[in-house]
Structure 1
């Protein structure tokens, strides 16, 4: 039998005997492999390629043709499409079905369709106008209940929650009857209405190839190839055909260019994952080595070489890492494939099950390598142990390496210097790469930190003094556990500071032109009679609510103008539309009566709430119109304090606007009123005029990133798990001391305190050092995550509850868990 085969058999039997320790190691090695494999498989399954999405886009047709807007110059190529909307509107004609058939050849059959939005009250939902009963549409949507719609009927996707027989009420038309429930092949969360004759809302957005529009599905006598595309583009048709995506001339898949930042980021992530796993699994491997020390010494006494002892211990890593990787890979693939449809129902799309084998196998190889690396230190110790000392039952001496602290300090200083430089670089990848250098340096420095802090043991009470001295004496297990806690704490604190700083930056960047709780109602170019009806209906719908008027500006030809200015708010250029009104509107915008602002408004000056918008007592405005030339205005202005901290904007008196050559007409209403969640105010006002728009200012509604607490949960598992693994080893190593303490009458509670002291020392030291490293990295991360250009200051915010939970709460929790560790010792016979 070969030495390797014998070592694998010994490792398998040892793993089965110590099933709890083996399970702990397998979980620590396999969990990252499972998570990464599941994410890779999930991403691959939720990525729908153009070929996979052909049926949903074309149905059974040969081609899909979309008309481009007038004046658009379109050029499709195999590597993409380009379009320009600045051309002559007469350059692209609007084709009819007969012209399209002439382009595609005799025998072509066309099915018209339109994609857009349907207005259902205040909601705008996606809509597809097409006759699903036609065989050419087979595969675009799957019927799950009822039947396909006919005239004045619709089908809805399952996300609506409607059943056949329900009614939809679009704005301005009669209700539509729901006769079927359909499902999109790849988008289970899609909310879409489908029917042959839908009252689609007018398009008010820029056109793009994947945007909304009208066109045809074409059943052609011959395939539509790339050779036909230029002619169709010149005719104003964007083409998607089956032959273009599946034929021999289909668009080739090009390898992405080498990305330095992406490569550095992947490398840093791999190093961090391996480091975390090795440090966490290291104490567990050390447990096995300590328990098998005598067995290994007996093998050495019978002629086993140092290389054979290393092979036996490395076989533990190979067996446990191999099994953990295999199980985790299988479970990760299954979780990714089965989880894709579930995740897609919350948003996104799902395609056929797919496994990116190259990345998955690379992750599996990384997991296997991690198991071997985690067992490497115990393997070296096994080869170097003194056989006579172990067989005599004495603890082996630990040799210090005085040069290692210098190496660790050099790595830390290099990492700090790199962090200072990386903080000024775009993107956060370089900061994370610099943090890896700092963590590697701290790992190398950890033995020195353990020895230095061990000198403080003389000042502690007896149980803690015994715990700290024992931890210093057994550095092989203590150092690994402390380094693991440092790495986890530093990573979590850094990500917490970065994420919270980004949240605070978004919160500071929030701005509005109206105070929180204000309701605004306005209409477009409508006549006075329609406005009077809208105003009367508003007063009827909001009885007892004071309404304040606002005004629109028009030139002598009746063109409506919007008055705007641009200001830099929290580093971002923000364009604001100014309001036109009187003292009552000023009082609403300020939330109080301001005599100075009111006097300035009465004297014909603008009242501005953005200090940065004022230049020498003037406000620079741009008057723009969709149907007339733009104008520039400089108006006198004063600065005032708004009602809310994040509120900006400006108010112009009517006299000032009229002096600039405009006329004003009342077309806005304001009120301090919050509509309830089930309000039908927009639908009720739309009965007076369909051009009405309402907006309720709700203030900043986002909450801090919930992933912070996900990071805390991960840290809880890793810190407590690694600490308890080291504590269990300490409890085994401290049996002689604990037996002596019991013999002289120490109570069981004191024995538990001694064991818990190990957990407090390991987790506390690691958390404090990790806090320092994580804070430096988190502050550095805040700059690329919160700056928006040159000269924009970074936002630095520390989530103190989160940091205290990590740095204080986790060590306390680990200590409390260690108090539950079994401290009873088996009775030992003594020689007389």
Structure 2
């Protein structure tokens, strides 16, 4: 029998004999593999490609064409599409005959209009098409009832309706529900489908995939990319079967992108392997401690140092391979099962898709990490003194003098790289530098354990015994401390970066209106239509004071917007200046400001952006979708707005009229909050569809709850790694515990010794990790919060999160270590 085969058999038998330790090692190795595999499978399954979604997109049709609004310039290309709704060249709207003529003789078209339907106080997505037509076959699956005809609708399951129910849309005849249909890939879709629906007007909003008027086409010849430019010129957005099947692959990435992706992948691989090795390493060390006599007997019978190394490495191969295999299977299953469940809550799900290349790469990574975790114990096994082990004496631990210097050099190199990476765009290079710092600290950890162990003489007996034992077994302790350090550093860095980004976004928030202001805007309309809209608004908002705003027009009646550009929190922001009187100024300031009121009355602009006023002037650009642009310079004064993050400007009517424009009332403002079930917008659209209603909510975003999910992950890794190390310490300290029991030490003292190991390991790892993570987090804050040259970085420390990680986790690990009762043992001691 070959030595390798014998080593594998010994490893398999040892793993089965110590099932608890083997399960712990497999969990430590397999958990990251399972999570990453599940995420990869979930993303691949939830991503519906054009080919996979072809039937749901087009049914049995050859193409779908959506009519763009007048004034829209379309341009479709194989790698994307663009459209500009402010174009001057307006393609006329096409009827069915004209569209059919563009596609050639023999073309058959059926309506396909996507929009919204008003139901009570809300609205629901609606699709106006005939599901009985063969062209729509496969777009929606019938699960109950039948497909609708004229005056009937089908609904998706999330609507809560069943066949026989009635849908009542204001101003239209009731619609009878006759069927329940489901989208093949979007089970959470809430939609009403029928051949004749009272769709709401688009009100200028158009999206070729969601809203718009169009047709499904059965064409004699496939609609290819060569046909697209002519159809775009005719104002038609095209989606065809031939285009989807002939879509090119992903565009070729540039060299810098390739380098960044390679660096990012390498950094991720190093961090994953490092964490697995540090977590599973103590568990392999447990096996080495318990098998030391077995290995010594093999050596005594002629086994070489290479044979001993092979046996211990075989443990890593067997357990790492089994963990990777089981985790890969479970990860694929978890990702495949989670996708349709998640799709029920939103999103989409396609056929089960496993990205085999990255999945197998992750499995191989787990196998390599298992072997790497067993590497240090294998080297220790090869170097053990056979005579000392057989005599029952513990091995002596010696440090290599060059390792602390190498670790310090790596840390200094990583810090220098962090300083350079902080100035680079993106966070990738910062993380790459952090990996270098982390490796250096891992190399330094045995020296840190020995250095901090000098304070043991000043501690009470249980803690003194714990720290001295940790120092005596530095190989075991350093691995656990480094694992805690790596987790803490990563979580602290993410916390600082995320909090800095949140604070930067909060500071970047700006609005031209104070919080709590209701705004109603009328578009291009006659004075009579505006009068009706104003009267309806007053009727719908009884007792609410309404303040007028005005619209600028030139002599030809073309509407103009008066805008200026200002930098806010480092970002170029374009604002529209309002036109109004003293009443509107009082609303914008939230009080009466005599100085600002006097400036407005004298014909000056009142500006709330300090950077926009230069030498007492405000530079404006008057722009129109149908007229030439103009540049204006008007006298201006600075004033204080109602809110801290409020900007904007208010122009008096006289100033605008002196610039050659006419003014017409087309806006209404009020400090009024609408109830949640308000139907004001729907009520006003019945007067005219050219109305918009907006309410300024203020900054509503809260810090990401995902930050605390990192704390949960750190909790599992820190507490799990610490308990694994304390379990090893408890096994190694059996002779010391026997001696203490013999001289009368109570069980509480024995528990305090084990808990002291947990406190020392987690406390030292968290302290070092906090320092390393803070350095990386500060470096991350710059690329995450800067938006160009001259924009200062935003730095924020999430103190509750930091305290929970750096203080809370070690305390929790210590408390958990106190729970098991340390049973006194009277193991014999060999002298």
Name the structure 1 match of 2:624: 625
Name the structure 1 match of 2:733: 734
Distance 2:608 2:483 in 1: 52
Distance 2:521 2:190 in 1: 28
Q: Deviations over 1:357-379 (max 9, x none)?
A: 11111111111111111011111
1:51 aligns with 2:12: no
Contact 2:719–2:813 (CA under 8 A) maintained in structure 1? yes
Question: What secondary structure does 1:267 align onto?
Answer: helix
Task: List aligned pairs for 1:278-357, cutoff 5 A.
Answer: 278-357=277-356
1:19 aligns with 2:19: yes
Evaluate the alpha carbon distance shift between residue 385 and residue 462 of structure 1 in structure 2; reply closer, same or farther with a 3 A threshold.
Answer: same
Task: List aligned pairs for 1:520-559, cutoff 5 A.
Answer: 520-559=519-558
By how many angstroms is 1:338 displaced? 1.2
Name the structure 2 match of 1:762: 761
Task: List aligned pairs for 1:585-604, cutoff 5 A.
Answer: 585-604=584-603
Evaluate the alpha carbon distance shift between residue 817 and residue 653 of structure 1 in structure 2; reply closer, same or farther with a 3 A threshold.
Answer: same
Distance 2:262 2:334 in 1: 27
Evaluate the alpha carbon distance shift between residue 389 and residue 342 of structure 1 in structure 2; reply closer, same or farther with a 3 A threshold.
Answer: same
Distance 1:518 1:169 in 2: 32
Contact 2:786–2:792 (CA under 8 A) maintained in structure 1? yes
| TM-score of the superposed pair, with normalisation by structure 1 | 0.93
Distance 2:100 2:732 in 1: 87
Q: Deviations over 1:5-33 (max 9, x none)?
A: 33223222322232222221111111111
Q: 451-460 or 658-667, which moves further after superposition? A: 658-667
By how many angstroms is 1:443 displaced? 0.4
Distance 1:221 1:654 in 2: 60
Distance 1:209 1:514 in 2: 32
Name the structure 2 match of 1:414: 413
Name the structure 2 match of 1:724: 723
Name the structure 1 match of 2:807: 808
Distance 2:451 2:270 in 1: 28
Q: Deviations over 1:217-269 (max 9, x none)?
A: 333445555676677667665554444555xx774677766611111101100
Question: What secondary structure does 2:40 align onto?
Answer: helix
By how many angstroms is 1:215 displaced? 4.0
Distance 1:437 1:597 in 2: 57
Q: 674-683 or 232-241, which moves further after superposition? A: 232-241
By how many angstroms is 1:430 displaced? 0.7
Task: List aligned pairs for 1:188-207, cutoff 5 A.
Answer: 188-201=187-200
Evaluate the alpha carbon distance shift between residue 676 and residue 65 of structure 1 in structure 2; reply closer, same or farther with a 3 A threshold.
Answer: closer
Distance 2:514 2:69 in 1: 39
Distance 1:123 1:826 in 2: 72
In structure 2, the gaps of 5 or more residues are none
By how many angstroms is 1:39 displaced? 1.1
Contact 2:554–2:660 (CA under 8 A) maintained in structure 1? yes
Contact 1:172–1:690 (CA under 8 A) maintained in structure 2? no
Name the structure 1 match of 2:459: 460
Q: 678-687 or 127-136, which moves further after superposition? A: 678-687
Name the structure 1 match of 2:396: 397
Question: What secondary structure does 2:670 align onto?
Answer: strand
Q: Deviations over 1:277-308 (max 9, x none)?
A: 10011111111111111121122122222122
Contact 1:121–1:683 (CA under 8 A) maintained in structure 2? no
Name the structure 2 match of 1:563: 562
Name the structure 1 match of 2:469: 470
Contact 2:183–2:189 (CA under 8 A) maintained in structure 1? yes
Task: List aligned pairs for 1:394-793, cutoff 5 A.
Answer: 394-793=393-792
Evaluate the alpha carbon distance shift between residue 668 and residue 218 of structure 1 in structure 2; reply closer, same or farther with a 3 A threshold.
Answer: closer
By how many angstroms is 1:516 displaced? 1.4
Q: Deviations over 1:765-784 (max 9, x none)?
A: 11111111101111111111
CA RMSD of aligned residues (A): 2.9
Distance 2:685 2:240 in 1: 42
Question: What secondary structure does 1:574 align onto?
Answer: strand
Question: What secondary structure does 2:143 align onto?
Answer: strand
Distance 1:226 1:654 in 2: 52
Name the structure 2 match of 1:29: 29
Question: What secondary structure does 2:14 align onto?
Answer: helix
Question: What secondary structure does 2:519 align onto?
Answer: strand
Paired positions, count = 829
Distance 1:686 1:201 in 2: 9
Question: What secondary structure does 2:110 align onto?
Answer: strand
Name the structure 2 match of 1:64: 64
Distance 1:83 1:663 in 2: 31
Distance 1:86 1:663 in 2: 22
Contact 2:87–2:625 (CA under 8 A) maintained in structure 1? no
Q: 409-418 or 226-235, which moves further after superposition? A: 226-235
Question: What secondary structure does 1:292 align onto?
Answer: helix
Distance 2:494 2:617 in 1: 44
Contact 2:417–2:433 (CA under 8 A) maintained in structure 1? yes
Name the structure 2 match of 1:40: 40
Q: 236-245 or 266-275, which moves further after superposition? A: 236-245
Question: What secondary structure does 2:636 align onto?
Answer: strand
Name the structure 2 match of 1:216: 215
Distance 2:680 2:108 in 1: 46
Distance 2:208 2:541 in 1: 44
Evaluate the alpha carbon distance shift between residue 99 and residue 601 of structure 1 in structure 2; reply closer, same or farther with a 3 A threshold.
Answer: closer
Evaluate the alpha carbon distance shift between residue 84 and residue 681 of structure 1 in structure 2; reply closer, same or farther with a 3 A threshold.
Answer: closer
Evaluate the alpha carbon distance shift between residue 352 and residue 776 of structure 1 in structure 2; reply closer, same or farther with a 3 A threshold.
Answer: same
Evaluate the alpha carbon distance shift between residue 162 and residue 808 of structure 1 in structure 2; reply closer, same or farther with a 3 A threshold.
Answer: same
Evaluate the alpha carbon distance shift between residue 255 and residue 304 of structure 1 in structure 2; reply closer, same or farther with a 3 A threshold.
Answer: farther
Distance 2:164 2:751 in 1: 69
Distance 1:224 1:463 in 2: 81
Question: What secondary structure does 2:592 align onto?
Answer: coil
Contact 2:590–2:641 (CA under 8 A) maintained in structure 1? yes
Distance 2:661 2:227 in 1: 53
By how many angstroms is 1:488 displaced? 0.5
Contact 2:73–2:89 (CA under 8 A) maintained in structure 1? no
Contact 2:741–2:825 (CA under 8 A) maintained in structure 1? no
